[in-house]
Amino acid sequence: MAKEVKRLNEAESGGRWDGVKRHWFLYLMLLPAVVYFIVLRFYPMFLQMVLAFKDYQLMRGVWDSPWVGLDNFRHIFGQADFGRVLRNTVEISLLRLGFGFLPPLLLAIFLYDLSKGWLRKVSQTILYIPHFFSWVVIYGIVFALFSNSGFVSLLIEKIFGSDIDFLMGSEWFRPLLIGSGIWKEIGWSTIIYLAALTAIDQTLYEAAKIDGAGPWKRTWHITLPGMRSIVIFLLTLSLGNILYAGGEQILLFYSPATYEVGDVIDTWIYRQGISQLQYSLATAASLFQSLFGFLLVIGANYVSKRYAQTGIW
Amino acid sequence: MALFRGERFYQLLISTVVILLSVMSLYPLLYVIAVSLVNEQEWTASGGFILWPKEPTLQAYRKIFEGPAFVTAFGISVLRTFLGTALTLAATTITAYAVSRRSLPGRSFLLFMIVATILFNSGLIPSYLVVKDLGMLDTIWSLVIPGAVDSWSVLVLKQFFDNIPKELEESARIDGAGEFKVMTRIMLPMSVPAFAAIGLFMAVAHWNSWFDAMIYITDATRQPLQLLIRNLFVSVDLGAQFNSSMVTNPSARVAAESLKMAVVVIGIIPILCIYPFLQKHFTKGMYVGAVKG
């Protein structure tokens, strides 16, 4: 029957133009999206490429402002300030990856291996909740626990007699930032691993048990190999996003006192652009970030497809 | 050694870890609620070390709701959530439907464009300038239009449409159904679960969003709730703002910390209300869609 319909369609359509006419209804449906993509996505992309090479002057607007070649980039990369920003971005991304990658993976294995179904269900319900909190709420919770009158600060003061200034000092900035990020996502991140684990043939475990393999051996020889490709996929994906260190969260957590360890590209762009109206500098930095990020994601996808047979597209 | 390798030890170990992590996920939430229910007297007396309030009071919530700013912000958040979700869901659905039609000329070019918007960012300032030039600053539109078509959701929905058995559509076409009929009678009714899932996740994203408002909304009376919460945390004299200086009895006053925690709780409550529905839709597909959300 499928073939019949296809032949029918082909008979009806003469050339390409006929196909377009026949689908006028679909094109009408696409119209809002096309307008949206042109005005709110592609035009800003174009604007980004123009503005990065101009000296934007508020009174003259984008098009009448003078071209300055690579001056904006020279200015940005000449600043010691921006070197620190780049270093912070990469360091925070890598720290998030280093400390944040293993916990959800292990938790997923534990949830998968739990023999008590009710415990798995109850704990999953609880563990997924923080993912749905906004970063503002996460900051509120961190404040509740770690401000000078917070639960953890007071507990430490009671036990050790010394008080630690968690929120103001720069030495605790990164642990709190990365720790609260892990706290938010640890449960939710297990979902993708658990989905991969459902593909494992259960008879493998039965056979391994008969052969005398204990739980650790089964994890090492069956569960972990079953997660291999999803692990490679996620690792490459996060390496592709290395220039995006979580600016929205940092914007809430940092203060001038912690710029030294917390200022990243996204927050730098925000301050230069929105607070100081340095539109050209901020745009040049974001073009650098977009271009470099684009290449990284393309590269990461290539690596992932090659070694894990799964890509983003 | 034998004990360490045993099944029962392993189960005991992983149960302990899972229970411990669950407690760590839940306890901060309970603590935030506890602090929000304390009056100033108890806060001062305990030095801030609260396990659970001795005399729970809703004063912090009452004081917050009495202020005009809060009710407005709450209303704006509700509005943006409903308006934004409805708009994005509608736009995303018709777009995904059109690009899921294999016979559509130009289809692969359109798909390429959609993927391009995911891979390449347009930058903060260019987006800001466009929103500004469209006259949307300080209006609700600046919060719902910039995300009106969600590229990831288009791809997820297209995938869903692709998986609907072709035979259904073909038999309808043989019976003489046109494009509009195929869409409204077959494809959309079959996709209700996908709409529910995507809609719920979009609603959460809208409710939680604050950064767009920080850039696009400068008028303090038009801020959504999450931005107001953020600003309350930054402000210094919160206690003086909300406690009338006429009220001196410390059991009728509320510490700044309790006020802060009360607004956090209010920011969380709608999420907790729809959480049981959200939980139904945790699948791999939604997860991948949410990675870059």
Task: Kindly list the structural domains of chain B, giving each domain's residue range(s) and its CATH number in brackets, ordered by start.
Answer: 68-225 (1.10.3720.10)
* Residues of chain A found within 8 Å of residue B210, distances taken between Cβ atoms: 134-136
Q: How far does the CA of residue A85 sit from the closest CA of chain B (Å)?
A: 17
- Percentage with pLDDT > 70 across chain B: 91
On the question of pLDDT at B154 being above 90, the answer is: yes
Least confident of A61-75, A185-199, B159-173: B159-173
Per-residue pLDDT at A199: 85
A290: nearest CA partner in chain B: B121
Percent of chain A's residues with pLDDT above 90 = 55
The full set of domain ranges for chain A reads 75-308
Chains A, B: CB contacts within 8 A come to 272
pLDDT of residue B180: 84
- Residue B251 above 80 pLDDT? no
Q: What is the CATH number of domain A75-308?
A: 1.10.3720.10
What is the 3-class SS of chain A, one letter each residue?
Answer: CHHHHHHHHHHHCCCHHHHHHHCHHHHHHHHHHHHHHHHHHHHHHHHHHHHCCECCECCCHHHHCCECCCHHHHHHHHCHHHHHHHHHHHHHHHHHHHHHCHHHHHHHHHHHHCCCHHHHHHHHHHHHHHHHCCHHHHHHHHHHHHCCCCHHHHHHHHHHCCCCCCCCCCCCHHHHHHHHHHHHHHHHHHHHHHHHHCCCCHHHHHHHHHCCCCHHHHHHHHHHHHHHHHHHHHHHHHHHCCCCCCHHHHHHHCCHHHHHHHCCHHHHHHHHHHHCCCHHHHHHHHHHHHHHHHHHHHHHHHHHHHHHCCCCC
User: With contacts defined as CB-CB under 8 Å, which chain A residues touch B154?
Assistant: 33
> What pLDDT score was predicted for residue B184?
86
Cβ of A26 and B119 within 8 Å?
Answer: no
Q: Identify the band that residue B293 occupies on the pLDDT scale cut at 50, 70 and 90.
A: very low
* Arithmetic mean of pLDDT over chain A: 88
CA distance A230 to A309: 9
pLDDT of residue A32: 93
Quote the minimal CA–CA distance from B248 to chain A in Å: 22
- What pLDDT is recorded for position B119? 87
Q: Do B124 and A30 touch (CB under 8 A)?
A: no
Residues A122-140 have a mean pLDDT of: 94
Over range A97-126, report the average pLDDT.
93
Q: What confidence category does residue B118 fall into, taking pLDDT thresholds of 50, 70 and 90? A: confident
Greater pLDDT, A176 or B241: A176
Measured distance CA(B12)–CA(B259) in Å, rounded: 41
**pLDDT of res. A122:** 92
Cβ contact, residue pair B49, A154, below 8 Å:
yes
pLDDT of residue B4: 61
- A5-56: per-residue pLDDT in tens? 444 454 444 566 776 777 888 899 999 999 999 999 999 999 999 999 999 9
Q: Does B250 have pLDDT greater than 80?
A: no
Query: Quick check: B236 contacting A, CB < 8 Å?
Result: no
Contact B15 A290 (CB under 8 A): no
Residue B288 near residue B118, CB atoms below 8 Å: no
Q: Does B149 touch chain A (CB under 8 A)?
A: yes
Read off the pLDDT of each residue in B232-251 and give the average, rounded to a whole number. Answer: 71
The Cα B245–Cα B236 span in angstroms is 16
Mutation for B interface: A39, A115, A134, most B CBs within 10 A: A134
Percentage of chain B surpassing pLDDT 90?
48
Contacts of B35 in chain A (CB under 8 A): 144
pTM over 0.80, yes/no: yes
| Kind and range of the H or E run holding B115 | helix B107-119
Chain A: residue nearest B11 by CA? A114
pLDDT of residue B283: 54
- The more confidently predicted of residues A255 and A184 is A184
Of B35, B171, B267, the CB nearest to A134: B267
Confidence class of residue A91 from pLDDT cuts 50, 70 and 90?
Answer: very high
**Per-range mean pLDDT, top range of A41-45, A309-313, B61-65, B289-293:** A41-45
* Interface membership of B260 toward A (CB under 8 Å): yes
Q: Does B50 score more than 80 pLDDT?
A: no
ipTM for this prediction: 0.90
CA nearest to A22 within chain B: B104
A48 or B255, higher pLDDT: A48
B80 pLDDT higher than 60: yes
Q: How many angstroms separate the CA of residue A30 from the nearest CA in chain B?
A: 5
Would you say residue B141 has pLDDT above 90?
yes
CB A228 within 8 A of CB A308: yes
- Taking CB atoms and an 8 Å limit, are B49 and A282 in contact across chains? no
Asked if B122 lies within 8 A of A51 by C-beta distance, the reply is: no
- Nearest by CB to residue B264, choosing from A141, A279, A282, is A141
Instruction: Centre a 10 Å sphere on the Cβ of residue B231 and count the other Cβ atoms it contains.
Output: 16
Contact assignment for B128 to A40 by CB distance below 8 Å = no
**Residue B177 contacts A, CB cutoff 8 Å:** no
Distance CA B221, CA B228 (A): 10
Higher pLDDT, B230 or B179: B230
